[in-house]
């Protein structure tokens, strides 16, 4: 939604928070709302499986006795419904539940993954295996050597499976450009060394579709593993789904990325003095990863020394990288240290440091005020303080569920 249309009278954030918005429409450069969620998500998933892109219906590729791995991204909205729809296809082909493994990448945050088998019949859910990959302890097998000379190892079940089906979200990603399809496989189903090597600080200067070595490696791995079918979704607000596609990975990724660009991309002719970014819990949670992504899109759209206002229910302890920021004199001082130490939360810590070095950041959250201030962020206590910031005369941009958006200014410096 742009400023030319009617403006909403409130912005949603957190689990059920809402803040009334009273601002002159002439000051609003853009209001980015989430795309509409599918009303009948289960029906849409089944339709996608029955009418895949550039691939026969899944039921034609499954035979009794197949050992199937569903490689499930932990950030997938409606994961339980996708798994239930896949099982209906498998069951129709007389696949045994014991021959299906739902394998999720190694956990990178403090939250425990949610069991995705909740929509399955009880007698099936108990027999389908579900596991979160544990690097270096689950037993990885050698796959191949990459063009750059890197030896690639993967969870044994992935290499030995008759059929591997990647399931996950297609979203903007600071490292990959577009996350989706084969990105669920690498590095999360590989070794701890692979996960460490893939840590990065993002490429804020690049467009999502620009060439990136990690994205190329991920695509090569999908080809090496012979993966020919996937199921992908684009998020809506919260844990909703706005679109779902199944079929050949290349066609699915291309189609989903086009939908993502239409739904979640924000382009401006000028920077805004104030960016108001809200975060609602999504399939991946409501933590620093979501906040880091919201900071990146906000930093891309706000003027130098402008204001970023984050509306959240964040109540997650910071990781090692964010804690490192608390010990420096200025945000920029942390960047080289983060690059050198490469903590597990390198990406959100870098996103925080870059944003606070560029703009004045304000945060409504459940965090302790002292912790927030140590991160060079001004804590907000209530809606009245948000309202006072909105009453300032600068031009504004509103981003709901900002963690999913990508922003660009045509005249950006």
Residues 224 and 291 in one domain: no
DSSP-derived secondary structure for 294-312: HHHHHHHHEEEEEEEEEE-
Residues 219 and 306 in one domain: no
**The pLDDT value given to residue 315:** 96
Residues 65 and 130 in one domain: yes
Residues 283 and 248 in one domain: no
Digits of tens for pLDDT over the chain (413 positions)?
Answer: 444 457 888 999 999 999 999 899 999 999 999 999 998 999 999 999 999 999 999 999 999 999 999 999 999 999 999 999 999 999 999 999 999 999 999 877 667 788 999 999 999 999 999 999 999 876 789 999 988 888 999 999 999 999 999 999 999 999 999 999 999 999 999 999 998 888 876 777 889 999 999 999 999 999 999 999 999 999 999 999 999 999 999 999 999 999 999 999 999 999 999 999 999 999 999 999 999 999 999 999 999 999 999 999 999 999 999 999 999 999 999 999 999 898 989 999 999 999 999 999 999 999 999 999 999 999 999 999 999 999 999 999 999 999 999 999 987 55
pTM across the whole model: 0.94
Residues 254 and 297 in one domain: no
302 located within any domain: yes
Residues 253 and 275 in one domain: no
111 located within any domain: yes
CA pair distance 25, 6, nearest whole angstrom = 8
**Half-sphere exposure (CA, 13 Å, Cβ side) for 399?**
35
4 located within any domain: no
What is the separation of C-alpha 338 from the centre of its chain, rounded to a whole number of angstroms?
22
CA pair distance 153, 139, nearest whole angstrom = 9
177: phi then psi, degrees, rounded to nearest 5: 85, -70
Domain that holds residue 278: 10-32+269-409
396 located within any domain: yes
Q: Which CATH number fits the domain that encloses residue 57?
A: 3.40.50.11440
**The pLDDT value given to residue 146:** 87
Residues 218 and 341 in one domain: no
Residues 302 and 345 in one domain: yes
Residues 92 and 197 in one domain: yes
- Split into its structural domains, the chain has a count of 2
Residues 222 and 273 in one domain: no
């Amino acid at each position: 939604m742009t400023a030319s249309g009617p403006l909403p009278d409130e912005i949603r954030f957190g689990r059920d928070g809402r803040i009334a918005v009273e601002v002159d429409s002439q000051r609003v450069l853009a209001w980015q709302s989430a795309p509409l969620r599918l009303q009948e998500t289960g029906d849409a998933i089944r339709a996608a499986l029955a009418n895949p892109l550039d691939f026969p219906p899944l039921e034609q590729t499954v035979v009794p006795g197949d050992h199937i791995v569903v490689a499930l991204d932990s950030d997938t909205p409606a994961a339980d419904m996708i798994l239930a729809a896949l099982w209906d296809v498998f069951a129709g082909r007389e696949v045994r539940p014991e021959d299906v493994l739902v394998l999720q990448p190694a956990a990178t945050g403090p939250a425990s993954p949610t069991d995705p088998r909740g929509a399955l019949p009880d007698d099936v859910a108990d027999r389908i295996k579900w596991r979160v990959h544990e690097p270096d302890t689950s037993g990885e097998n050698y796959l191949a050597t990459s063009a750059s000379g890197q030896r690639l190892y993967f969870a044994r079940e992935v290499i030995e499976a008759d059929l591997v089906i990647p399931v996950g979200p297609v979203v903007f990603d600071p490292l990959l450009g577009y996350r989706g399809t084969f990105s669920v496989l690498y590095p999360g189903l590989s070794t701890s060394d692979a996960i460490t090597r893939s840590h990065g600080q993002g490429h804020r200067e690049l467009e999502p579709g620009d060439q990136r070595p990690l994205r190329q490696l991920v695509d090569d791995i999908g080809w090496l593993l012979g993966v020919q079918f996937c199921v992908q979704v684009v998020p809506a607000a919260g844990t909703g789904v706005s679109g779902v596609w199944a079929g050949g990975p290349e066609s699915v990724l291309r189609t989903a990325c086009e939908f993502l660009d239409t739904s979640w991309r924000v382009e401006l002719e000028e920077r805004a003095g104030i960016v108001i970014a809200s975060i609602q819990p999504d399939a991946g949670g409501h933590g620093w990863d979501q906040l880091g992504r919201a900071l990146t899109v906000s930093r891309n759209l706000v003027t130098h020394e402008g204001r970023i206002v984050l509306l959240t229910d964040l109540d997650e302890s910071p990781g090692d990288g964010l804690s490192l920021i608390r010990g420096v004199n200025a945000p920029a001082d942390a960047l080289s240290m983060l690059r050198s130490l490469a903590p597990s939360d390198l990406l959100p810590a870098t996103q925080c440091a870059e944003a606070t070095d560029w703009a004045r950041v304000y945060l409504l959250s459940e965090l302790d005020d002292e912790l927030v201030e140590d991160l060079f962020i001004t804590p907000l206590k209530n809606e009245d303080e948000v309202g006072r910031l909105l009453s300032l005369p600068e031009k504004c941009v509103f981003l709901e569920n900002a963690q999913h958006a990508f922003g660009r200014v045509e005249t950006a410096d």
